Structure 1
Amino acid sequence: MENTTTPAVTPASVAIRYGLLVGIVTVIYSLILMATGLEQNPLLGFVTFGILIVGIVLAHKYFKQNNGGFMSYGQGLGIATIMGAIIGTLSSIFRYIYVNFVDAEYTQRTLEAARTKLETDGLSDEQIEQAMAITTKMMPNGPISIVWGILATAFFGFLLALVIAAFTKNNRPEFE
Protein backbone atom coordinates (compact mmCIF):
# COMPACT_ATOMS: atom_id res chain seq x y z
CA MET A 1 0.00 0.00 0.00
CA GLU A 2 1.35 3.41 -0.97
CA ASN A 3 1.87 6.13 1.63
CA THR A 4 -0.09 9.15 0.38
CA THR A 5 0.48 11.50 3.30
CA THR A 6 3.01 14.22 2.83
CA PRO A 7 5.19 15.08 5.77
CA ALA A 8 4.59 18.45 7.37
CA VAL A 9 7.31 21.00 6.87
CA THR A 10 9.47 21.94 9.83
CA PRO A 11 10.26 25.49 10.92
CA ALA A 12 13.95 24.80 10.23
CA SER A 13 13.34 23.58 6.67
CA VAL A 14 11.22 26.63 5.85
CA ALA A 15 13.77 28.94 7.48
CA ILE A 16 16.62 27.43 5.48
CA ARG A 17 14.69 27.65 2.20
CA TYR A 18 13.58 31.25 2.70
CA GLY A 19 16.84 32.27 4.36
CA LEU A 20 18.75 31.20 1.24
CA LEU A 21 16.26 32.91 -1.09
CA VAL A 22 16.14 36.18 0.85
CA GLY A 23 19.91 36.03 1.42
CA ILE A 24 20.56 35.78 -2.32
CA VAL A 25 18.18 38.68 -3.02
CA THR A 26 19.88 40.75 -0.31
CA VAL A 27 23.35 40.00 -1.68
CA ILE A 28 22.30 40.99 -5.21
CA TYR A 29 20.71 44.20 -3.89
CA SER A 30 23.84 45.00 -1.85
CA LEU A 31 26.06 44.38 -4.87
CA ILE A 32 23.98 46.79 -6.94
CA LEU A 33 24.17 49.47 -4.23
CA MET A 34 27.90 49.03 -3.70
CA ALA A 35 28.72 48.94 -7.42
CA THR A 36 26.73 52.12 -8.06
CA GLY A 37 28.02 53.94 -4.97
CA LEU A 38 24.54 54.28 -3.48
CA GLU A 39 25.20 52.25 -0.32
CA GLN A 40 25.41 55.42 1.79
CA ASN A 41 21.83 56.45 0.93
CA PRO A 42 19.79 55.77 4.09
CA LEU A 43 16.50 55.44 2.21
CA LEU A 44 17.89 52.70 0.01
CA GLY A 45 19.20 50.99 3.15
CA PHE A 46 15.63 50.67 4.40
CA VAL A 47 14.79 48.59 1.33
CA THR A 48 16.95 45.84 2.84
CA PHE A 49 14.71 45.83 5.91
CA GLY A 50 11.69 45.67 3.64
CA ILE A 51 13.17 42.64 1.87
CA LEU A 52 13.71 40.95 5.24
CA ILE A 53 10.16 41.71 6.43
CA VAL A 54 8.59 40.44 3.19
CA GLY A 55 10.77 37.31 3.38
CA ILE A 56 9.66 36.56 6.93
CA VAL A 57 5.98 37.07 6.07
CA LEU A 58 6.29 34.80 3.00
CA ALA A 59 8.10 32.13 5.04
CA HIS A 60 5.36 32.21 7.68
CA LYS A 61 2.71 31.98 4.96
CA TYR A 62 4.48 29.02 3.33
CA PHE A 63 4.83 27.25 6.68
CA LYS A 64 1.14 27.68 7.44
CA GLN A 65 0.09 26.52 3.96
CA ASN A 66 2.08 23.32 4.45
CA ASN A 67 1.17 22.79 8.09
CA GLY A 68 -2.61 22.63 7.97
CA GLY A 69 -2.92 26.42 8.22
CA PHE A 70 -1.31 26.54 11.66
CA MET A 71 1.80 28.17 13.07
CA SER A 72 2.50 28.96 16.70
CA TYR A 73 4.13 32.18 17.84
CA GLY A 74 7.28 30.26 18.82
CA GLN A 75 7.50 28.60 15.41
CA GLY A 76 7.26 32.04 13.79
CA LEU A 77 10.06 33.33 16.00
CA GLY A 78 12.21 30.30 15.21
CA ILE A 79 11.70 30.60 11.47
CA ALA A 80 12.68 34.28 11.43
CA THR A 81 15.70 33.81 13.71
CA ILE A 82 17.14 30.96 11.64
CA MET A 83 16.39 32.93 8.48
CA GLY A 84 18.27 35.89 9.95
CA ALA A 85 21.30 33.73 10.70
CA ILE A 86 21.36 32.35 7.15
CA ILE A 87 20.83 35.76 5.56
CA GLY A 88 23.53 37.19 7.84
CA THR A 89 25.93 34.44 6.83
CA LEU A 90 25.43 35.02 3.10
CA SER A 91 25.49 38.81 3.40
CA SER A 92 28.50 38.91 5.70
CA ILE A 93 30.57 36.58 3.56
CA PHE A 94 29.66 38.63 0.49
CA ARG A 95 30.55 41.91 2.23
CA TYR A 96 33.85 40.50 3.51
CA ILE A 97 34.86 39.32 0.04
CA TYR A 98 33.71 42.55 -1.60
CA VAL A 99 35.44 44.88 0.86
CA ASN A 100 38.69 42.91 1.09
CA PHE A 101 39.15 41.59 -2.43
CA VAL A 102 36.90 43.36 -4.94
CA ASP A 103 36.84 47.01 -3.76
CA ALA A 104 39.67 47.65 -1.32
CA GLU A 105 38.84 51.40 -1.12
CA TYR A 106 35.28 50.74 0.08
CA THR A 107 36.10 51.17 3.78
CA GLN A 108 38.02 54.38 3.12
CA ARG A 109 35.13 55.81 1.08
CA THR A 110 32.72 54.91 3.87
CA LEU A 111 34.86 56.69 6.46
CA GLU A 112 35.21 59.76 4.20
CA ALA A 113 31.42 59.87 3.73
CA ALA A 114 30.97 59.70 7.51
CA ARG A 115 33.47 62.54 7.99
CA THR A 116 31.66 64.66 5.38
CA LYS A 117 28.33 64.03 7.10
CA LEU A 118 29.77 65.12 10.45
CA GLU A 119 31.21 68.27 8.87
CA THR A 120 27.87 69.19 7.28
CA ASP A 121 26.18 68.61 10.65
CA GLY A 122 28.38 71.40 12.02
CA LEU A 123 30.54 69.48 14.47
CA SER A 124 33.88 70.97 15.52
CA ASP A 125 37.16 69.47 14.29
CA GLU A 126 37.79 67.98 17.73
CA GLN A 127 34.35 66.34 17.82
CA ILE A 128 34.81 65.01 14.28
CA GLU A 129 38.19 63.48 15.13
CA GLN A 130 36.78 61.89 18.26
CA ALA A 131 33.78 60.48 16.36
CA MET A 132 36.00 59.17 13.57
CA ALA A 133 38.34 57.47 16.06
CA ILE A 134 35.36 55.70 17.65
CA THR A 135 33.91 54.81 14.24
CA THR A 136 37.21 53.32 13.08
CA LYS A 137 37.52 51.24 16.24
CA MET A 138 33.92 50.03 16.00
CA MET A 139 34.12 48.96 12.35
CA PRO A 140 34.64 45.21 12.38
CA ASN A 141 37.48 44.12 10.14
CA GLY A 142 38.59 40.72 9.06
CA PRO A 143 36.74 37.45 9.57
CA ILE A 144 35.25 38.68 12.86
CA SER A 145 32.99 40.91 10.74
CA ILE A 146 31.32 37.75 9.42
CA VAL A 147 30.53 36.57 12.96
CA TRP A 148 29.12 39.98 13.93
CA GLY A 149 27.04 40.07 10.74
CA ILE A 150 25.53 36.67 11.46
CA LEU A 151 24.72 37.53 15.07
CA ALA A 152 23.33 40.97 14.24
CA THR A 153 21.09 39.74 11.42
CA ALA A 154 19.81 36.78 13.46
CA PHE A 155 19.03 39.14 16.34
CA PHE A 156 17.32 41.63 14.01
CA GLY A 157 15.29 38.80 12.44
CA PHE A 158 14.22 37.78 15.94
CA LEU A 159 13.22 41.35 16.82
CA LEU A 160 11.18 41.71 13.65
CA ALA A 161 9.54 38.34 14.29
CA LEU A 162 8.40 39.46 17.74
CA VAL A 163 5.92 41.71 15.92
CA ILE A 164 5.41 39.84 12.65
CA ALA A 165 4.69 36.46 14.29
CA ALA A 166 2.03 38.08 16.47
CA PHE A 167 0.11 38.86 13.26
CA THR A 168 0.92 35.76 11.22
CA LYS A 169 0.47 33.10 13.91
CA ASN A 170 -2.50 30.77 13.87
CA ASN A 171 -2.44 28.40 16.81
CA ARG A 172 -3.81 24.89 16.43
CA PRO A 173 -6.96 24.47 18.54
CA GLU A 174 -6.25 22.61 21.79
CA PHE A 175 -9.10 20.15 21.48
CA GLU A 176 -8.83 19.12 17.88
Structure 2
Amino acid sequence: MEKNKGKLWEKGIIIALILIVLNLIFHFTGQDQNPSMGWIGIAIFVVAIIYITIQYSKEHDGQVTFGNLFAHGFKVSAIVTLIMIIWVVLMYKVIFPDMQETMMQMQRTEGLKKGYSEEQLSKGLEITKKYFMTFAIGGTLLTYAILGLIGALLGAAFSKKMPANSSPFQQ
Protein backbone atom coordinates (compact mmCIF):
# COMPACT_ATOMS: atom_id res chain seq x y z
CA MET A 1 0.00 0.00 0.00
CA GLU A 2 2.85 2.43 0.78
CA LYS A 3 4.28 1.87 -2.70
CA ASN A 4 0.94 2.97 -4.19
CA LYS A 5 0.86 6.13 -2.06
CA GLY A 6 4.32 7.07 -3.30
CA LYS A 7 3.20 6.64 -6.88
CA LEU A 8 0.15 8.81 -6.23
CA TRP A 9 2.35 11.65 -5.00
CA GLU A 10 4.79 11.20 -7.90
CA LYS A 11 1.97 11.39 -10.45
CA GLY A 12 0.41 14.40 -8.73
CA ILE A 13 3.71 16.26 -8.52
CA ILE A 14 4.52 15.61 -12.19
CA ILE A 15 1.12 16.87 -13.36
CA ALA A 16 1.33 19.92 -11.09
CA LEU A 17 4.85 20.75 -12.31
CA ILE A 18 3.68 20.58 -15.92
CA LEU A 19 0.83 22.97 -15.10
CA ILE A 20 3.16 25.33 -13.20
CA VAL A 21 5.67 25.42 -16.08
CA LEU A 22 2.80 26.09 -18.50
CA ASN A 23 1.59 28.87 -16.20
CA LEU A 24 5.07 30.42 -16.14
CA ILE A 25 5.36 30.22 -19.93
CA PHE A 26 2.02 32.00 -20.28
CA HIS A 27 3.09 34.63 -17.76
CA PHE A 28 6.42 35.42 -19.40
CA THR A 29 4.90 35.51 -22.90
CA GLY A 30 2.10 37.82 -21.74
CA GLN A 31 -0.61 35.24 -22.41
CA ASP A 32 -1.62 34.70 -18.78
CA GLN A 33 -4.56 37.11 -19.10
CA ASN A 34 -5.78 35.50 -22.35
CA PRO A 35 -8.88 33.46 -21.40
CA SER A 36 -8.47 31.06 -24.30
CA MET A 37 -5.04 30.02 -23.02
CA GLY A 38 -6.62 28.83 -19.78
CA TRP A 39 -8.30 26.05 -21.72
CA ILE A 40 -4.92 24.55 -22.56
CA GLY A 41 -4.12 24.00 -18.87
CA ILE A 42 -7.59 22.61 -18.26
CA ALA A 43 -7.26 20.17 -21.16
CA ILE A 44 -3.82 19.02 -20.02
CA PHE A 45 -5.06 18.43 -16.47
CA VAL A 46 -8.16 16.45 -17.48
CA VAL A 47 -6.29 14.39 -20.09
CA ALA A 48 -3.52 13.66 -17.55
CA ILE A 49 -6.04 12.40 -14.97
CA ILE A 50 -7.74 10.24 -17.61
CA TYR A 51 -4.35 8.88 -18.71
CA ILE A 52 -3.12 7.98 -15.21
CA THR A 53 -6.45 6.31 -14.44
CA ILE A 54 -6.22 4.18 -17.59
CA GLN A 55 -2.57 3.37 -16.80
CA TYR A 56 -3.58 2.29 -13.30
CA SER A 57 -6.04 -0.17 -14.84
CA LYS A 58 -3.32 -1.50 -17.17
CA GLU A 59 -0.90 -1.89 -14.24
CA HIS A 60 -3.47 -4.15 -12.58
CA ASP A 61 -4.38 -6.04 -15.78
CA GLY A 62 -7.93 -4.71 -15.62
CA GLN A 63 -8.54 -6.43 -12.29
CA VAL A 64 -9.97 -3.26 -10.76
CA THR A 65 -13.43 -1.86 -10.31
CA PHE A 66 -14.85 1.43 -11.46
CA GLY A 67 -14.64 2.65 -7.86
CA ASN A 68 -10.94 1.72 -7.58
CA LEU A 69 -10.16 3.54 -10.79
CA PHE A 70 -12.18 6.61 -9.87
CA ALA A 71 -10.58 6.75 -6.41
CA HIS A 72 -7.09 6.54 -7.88
CA GLY A 73 -7.75 9.33 -10.39
CA PHE A 74 -9.44 11.55 -7.84
CA LYS A 75 -6.64 11.07 -5.28
CA VAL A 76 -4.09 12.19 -7.84
CA SER A 77 -6.25 15.19 -8.74
CA ALA A 78 -6.52 16.06 -5.03
CA ILE A 79 -2.72 16.06 -4.79
CA VAL A 80 -2.50 18.31 -7.86
CA THR A 81 -5.14 20.60 -6.32
CA LEU A 82 -3.13 20.97 -3.10
CA ILE A 83 0.06 21.76 -5.00
CA MET A 84 -1.73 24.26 -7.24
CA ILE A 85 -3.22 26.05 -4.21
CA ILE A 86 0.29 26.38 -2.76
CA TRP A 87 1.47 27.63 -6.16
CA VAL A 88 -1.28 30.27 -6.33
CA VAL A 89 -0.40 31.59 -2.88
CA LEU A 90 3.32 31.69 -3.71
CA MET A 91 2.68 33.23 -7.11
CA TYR A 92 0.55 36.13 -5.83
CA LYS A 93 2.35 36.74 -2.53
CA VAL A 94 6.02 35.96 -3.23
CA ILE A 95 6.99 35.35 -6.86
CA PHE A 96 4.80 37.91 -8.70
CA PRO A 97 3.37 40.24 -6.03
CA ASP A 98 2.57 42.87 -8.67
CA MET A 99 0.32 40.46 -10.57
CA GLN A 100 -2.66 41.20 -8.32
CA GLU A 101 -2.44 44.92 -9.07
CA THR A 102 -2.10 44.21 -12.79
CA MET A 103 -5.26 42.11 -12.68
CA MET A 104 -7.10 44.86 -10.81
CA GLN A 105 -6.13 47.40 -13.47
CA MET A 106 -7.34 45.05 -16.21
CA GLN A 107 -10.66 44.65 -14.39
CA ARG A 108 -10.96 48.45 -14.12
CA THR A 109 -10.32 48.82 -17.86
CA GLU A 110 -12.85 46.11 -18.71
CA GLY A 111 -15.40 47.70 -16.37
CA LEU A 112 -14.99 51.08 -18.03
CA LYS A 113 -15.47 49.45 -21.45
CA LYS A 114 -18.71 47.90 -20.21
CA GLY A 115 -19.96 51.26 -19.01
CA TYR A 116 -19.66 50.95 -15.24
CA SER A 117 -19.24 54.18 -13.32
CA GLU A 118 -16.03 54.97 -11.48
CA GLU A 119 -17.88 54.65 -8.17
CA GLN A 120 -19.19 51.18 -9.04
CA LEU A 121 -15.74 50.08 -10.15
CA SER A 122 -14.09 51.42 -7.01
CA LYS A 123 -16.53 49.55 -4.75
CA GLY A 124 -16.19 46.33 -6.72
CA LEU A 125 -12.41 46.50 -6.88
CA GLU A 126 -12.21 47.33 -3.18
CA ILE A 127 -14.09 44.13 -2.35
CA THR A 128 -12.02 42.16 -4.85
CA LYS A 129 -8.78 43.48 -3.36
CA LYS A 130 -9.92 42.70 0.18
CA TYR A 131 -10.84 39.10 -0.65
CA PHE A 132 -8.46 38.48 -3.55
CA MET A 133 -6.57 35.55 -2.01
CA THR A 134 -9.82 33.98 -0.81
CA PHE A 135 -11.18 34.17 -4.35
CA ALA A 136 -7.92 32.87 -5.84
CA ILE A 137 -7.66 29.91 -3.46
CA GLY A 138 -11.37 29.10 -3.66
CA GLY A 139 -11.36 29.34 -7.44
CA THR A 140 -8.33 27.07 -7.68
CA LEU A 141 -9.87 24.56 -5.27
CA LEU A 142 -13.21 24.44 -7.07
CA THR A 143 -11.70 24.37 -10.56
CA TYR A 144 -9.27 21.54 -9.91
CA ALA A 145 -11.70 19.54 -7.76
CA ILE A 146 -14.43 19.66 -10.41
CA LEU A 147 -12.03 18.99 -13.29
CA GLY A 148 -10.40 16.18 -11.30
CA LEU A 149 -13.82 14.67 -10.69
CA ILE A 150 -14.60 14.79 -14.40
CA GLY A 151 -11.19 13.40 -15.36
CA ALA A 152 -11.41 10.58 -12.82
CA LEU A 153 -14.93 9.66 -13.96
CA LEU A 154 -13.93 9.64 -17.62
CA GLY A 155 -10.73 7.73 -16.91
CA ALA A 156 -12.62 5.10 -14.91
CA ALA A 157 -15.26 4.85 -17.64
CA PHE A 158 -12.70 4.37 -20.44
CA SER A 159 -10.47 1.92 -18.54
CA LYS A 160 -10.50 -1.83 -18.82
CA LYS A 161 -12.20 -3.20 -15.72
CA MET A 162 -12.84 -6.55 -14.14
CA PRO A 163 -15.76 -8.29 -15.89
CA ALA A 164 -19.07 -7.75 -14.12
CA ASN A 165 -19.71 -11.48 -13.55
CA SER A 166 -16.33 -12.19 -11.99
CA SER A 167 -15.27 -11.70 -8.42
CA PRO A 168 -11.85 -10.70 -7.15
CA PHE A 169 -12.08 -13.68 -4.75
CA GLN A 170 -12.36 -16.29 -7.51
CA GLN A 171 -9.13 -17.84 -8.68
Number of residue pairs matched?
Answer: 165
Q: Is the 8 A contact 2:71 2:152 kept in 1?
A: no
Q: TM-score, normalised by structure 1?
A: 0.76
Query: C-alpha deviations, 1:154-175, integer Å up to 9, x for none?
Result: 5224431364145324431232
Cα distance between partner residues in 1 of 2:84 and 2:161:
33
Cα deviation for residue 140 of structure 1 reads 1.2
Cα deviation for residue 112 of structure 1 reads 0.8
SS at match of 1:68: coil
Cα deviation for residue 71 of structure 1 reads 4.0
Aligned partner of 1:16 in structure 2 is 9
Matching residue within 30, 41, 62 for 1:69: 62
Aligned partner of 2:121 in structure 1 is 128
Aligned partner of 1:33 in structure 2 is 26
Q: Indicate whether 1:101 and 2:94 are aligned.
A: yes
The 5 A counterparts of 1:1-176 are 10=4, 12=5, 14-140=7-133, 148=138, 151-152=141-142, 155-161=145-151, 163-165=153-155, 167-173=157-163, 174-175=165-166
Change over 3 Å in CA distance of 1:62–1:13 after alignment to 2 = farther
Cα distance between partner residues in 2 of 1:168 and 1:72:
12
One-letter identity of the residue aligned with 1:108: E
- In structure 2, the gaps of 5 or more residues are none
Q: Is the 8 A contact 1:81 1:154 kept in 2?
A: no
Q: Is the 8 A contact 2:12 2:80 kept in 1?
A: yes
- 4+ runs of 1 displaced by more than 6 Å? none
Q: TM-score, normalised by structure 2?
A: 0.78
Change over 3 Å in CA distance of 1:98–1:155 after alignment to 2 = closer
Change over 3 Å in CA distance of 1:15–1:80 after alignment to 2 = same
- In structure 1, the gaps of 5 or more residues are 1-6
Change over 3 Å in CA distance of 1:70–1:104 after alignment to 2 = same
**Matched-pair identity in %:** 20
Q: Is the 8 A contact 1:77 1:158 kept in 2?
A: no
Higher mean C-alpha deviation, range 119-128 or range 148-157:
148-157
Cα distance between partner residues in 1 of 2:70 and 2:115:
42
Query: C-alpha deviations, 1:121-164, integer Å up to 9, x for none?
Result: 222333323332332233116xx966x47743552244313641
Cα deviation for residue 13 of structure 1 reads 5.2
